[in-house]
Amino acid sequence: MPDIKFEIKETTGTISESPKGWKKELNLISWNDKEPKYDLRDWDSEHKKMGKGITLTAEELKKLKEILDEMDL
């Protein structure tokens, strides 16, 4: 399987951190030289290893924000 190329364009924020130092972050990332998308996943402290995550376009992120704003948490 070929290597996945990524470039973190912008770090938006950290949601949580595990006892082992991995952080769940929302970042703007370009995957394989494509248009950057918002990405939510766990990262090691050096951003070399990553966990599974989701990627969202700006429109999808806006819709998610609308849904979260409507929730009674």
Q: pLDDT digits over 12-62, tens only?
A: 999 999 999 999 999 999 999 999 999 999 999 999 999 999 999 999 999
Helix (H) or strand (E) holding 42: strand 37-43
Are 44 and 50 a contacting pair, CB within 8 Å? yes
Quote the pTM value.
0.88
| pLDDT recorded at residue 4 | 87
The domains of the chain, with CATH numbers, are 6-70 (2.30.31.70)
Closest residue by Cα to residue 44 from 15, 24, 64: 24
